[in-house]
Amino acid sequence: MKMDISIGLLGLGTVGSGVVKLIRQHQEELVHQLGCKVKVKRVLVRDIEKERDVQMDPASVTVNPDDILNDPEIDVVVEVMGGVDKTRQYIIKALENKKNVVTANKDLIALYGPEIQEIAWKNHCDLLYEASVGGGIPILRGLTDGFVSDRIQKVMGIVNGTTNYILTKMMENGVSYEEALKDAQELGFAEADPTADVAGLDAARKMAILARLAFYTNVKLEDVEVEGITNLLPEDLHYGKTLGYTMKLIGMAQCQNEQIEVSVQPAFVAKSHPLASVKNEFNAVYVNGEAIGEAMFYGPGAGSMPTATAVVSDVVAAIKNMQLGVNGCSLKGPRFEGKLKPLDQRFGQYYIRLHLKDQVGAFSKITAAFSALNISFKRILQTPDKRDELAEIIIVTHQVSLDRFQKALLQLNEMPVVKEVNSYYRVEGEA
């Protein structure tokens, strides 16, 4: 058994600095768990002269990736530099040089995870990426290890802290989207260009990864239906709150009879639902298993130390596998080829807000159209409208298949008594 394990670190930004700090500060615990020391031998940076939060021996810092990728003494390569194309090349080269790889790169894993995993297996190496989803929340290891004897049916959660912070401020403080976003940027929860977060793309990448691990099938990023939060209207948030809901950007993955559906969309969540209490920048993932029933993972979804904790946990797992000689021995390939669920097999409740012409029989025409499609109403709210000739109606349906709901929307848009269908959202939980 090696007396020292050497780490090569690609990137020394926020997360990379956290990894170095944890390895230094927790050396006694690491030796106790592993029976050997762990050290960061070499770090790849873009600019050697840049000042950083952590002090490094100048001799250990390099701008040449080959100093890490080709070093026979480095056992584990940790990638926290971000990016996709160049990073993919580095990781593949590390695996081909028989080095175990730990990464926090959700973009890379969402796009190329299955391909890189095949290379890892071929070279008897581990590819570990716990930090790619949920920051410090151990959700990926929970799915692959904790639920290994169960059959997971559904994974649903809040997996983007930026949007959750924005929606919390909009729902609880009544601020505008623009004001909440500005606040999130000033606090460092949102990037200068927040598109990936607010458009739902970040959450979609994470849901693709979660669905692959939960259902043992290859889920492509393009399989995920995505809608962000940029088009939310204050009126809907107000009515949702009145009806006992809060708005969240929900990622959801379901599998039934080897058919899957994966989506990211704003949804009204009943205040009694566990996800409704997840506020600000926190993340939570709700797992439904055939045997265990319901379980929820909750915690900080980002940040230097929470994410670094997940990275170092993967490093420890890779080293333990080295000591046992079982690197790259995880389950090979998908269990089945996932097919997307047809629309008539996808069920949910829905909130709809529309304006009707205020005339006799208008609402009865709406109810007749829904009834013909076997869609029943769970809740109805009618509010005064400033325009006297219109009536504003809010409807929450019972469970309905997506194809019937979409047919209902088409019919509403074609009915003369309907002025406009303003908005519609999925509903989760019982308000």
Residues 155-174 have pLDDT tens digits of: 999 999 999 999 999 999 99
Domain definitions of the chain by residue range: 4-135+304-324, 139-300, 343-428
Q: What are the residues whose beta carbons fall under 8 Å from the beta carbon of 344, sequence distance 6 or more?
A: 401, 402, 403, 404
Using pLDDT thresholds of 50, 70 and 90, give the confidence band for residue 209.
very high
Query: Is-same-fold flag (4-135+304-324; 139-300)?
Result: no
Q: Collapse the DSSP code of 134 into the 3-class scheme (helix H, G, I; strand E, B; otherwise coil) and give the result.
A: coil
DSSP state of 341: P
| Residue 366: Cβ within 10 Å count | 22
Tokens of 342: 């047809």
CATH number of 4-135+304-324: 3.40.50.720
Look up residue 428 and give its amino acid.
Answer: E
- Would you state the pLDDT for residue 387? 63
Alpha-carbon distance of 425 to 348, in angstroms, equals 10
Residues 328/125, Cβ–Cβ less than 8 Å: yes
For 245-282, write each residue's pLDDT tens digit.
999 999 999 999 899 999 999 999 999 999 999 999 99
b (16+ CB within 10 A) / e for 39-66: ebbbbbbeeeeeebeeebeeeebbeebe
Alpha-carbon distance of 65 to 70, in angstroms, equals 8
- Would you state the pLDDT for residue 386? 63
Residues 38/23, Cβ–Cβ less than 8 Å: yes
Res. 361: pLDDT tops 90: no
Alpha-carbon distance of 194 to 228, in angstroms, equals 11
Side-chain-side CA neighbours of 131 within 13 Å: the count stands at 29
Whether residue 365 lies in the annotated active site:
no
- Would you state the pLDDT for residue 358? 81
Concatenated DSSP letters of 149-167:
TS-EEEEEEE--HHHHHHH
Concatenated DSSP letters of 269-287:
EETTSGGGG--TTEEEEEE
DSSP-assigned beta bridge partners for residue 285 = 157, 297
Q: How large is the C-alpha radius of gyration of the chain? A: 25
For 29-81, write each residue's pLDDT tens digit.
999 999 999 999 999 999 998 888 899 999 999 999 999 999 999 999 999 99
Q: What is the residue whose two structure tokens read 């959750």?
A: 164
Q: Collapse the DSSP code of 44 into the 3-class scheme (helix H, G, I; strand E, B; otherwise coil) and give the result.
A: strand
Alpha-carbon distance of 221 to 205, in angstroms, equals 6
- Would you state the pLDDT for residue 388? 66
Tokens of 366: 């709406």
Say which CATH class 139-300 falls into.
alpha beta
- Sequence length of the chain is 431
Q: What is the residue whose two structure tokens read 């997360």?
A: 15
For 110-156, write each residue's pLDDT tens digit.
999 999 999 999 999 999 999 999 888 999 999 988 898 999 999 99
DSSP-assigned beta bridge partners for residue 76 = 7, 100
Q: 343-428: what fold?
A: Alpha-Beta Plaits (3.30.70)
Q: Mean pLDDT, the chain, as a whole number?
A: 93
Q: What are the residues whose beta carbons fall under 8 Å from the beta carbon of 68, sequence distance 6 or more?
A: 8, 9, 10, 42, 44, 62, 74, 77, 94
Instruction: Give the active site residue among 41, 206, 341, 419.
Output: 206
Tokens of 383: 């509010």
For 368-417, write each residue's pLDDT tens digit.
999 999 999 999 998 866 666 788 999 999 999 999 999 999 999 999 99
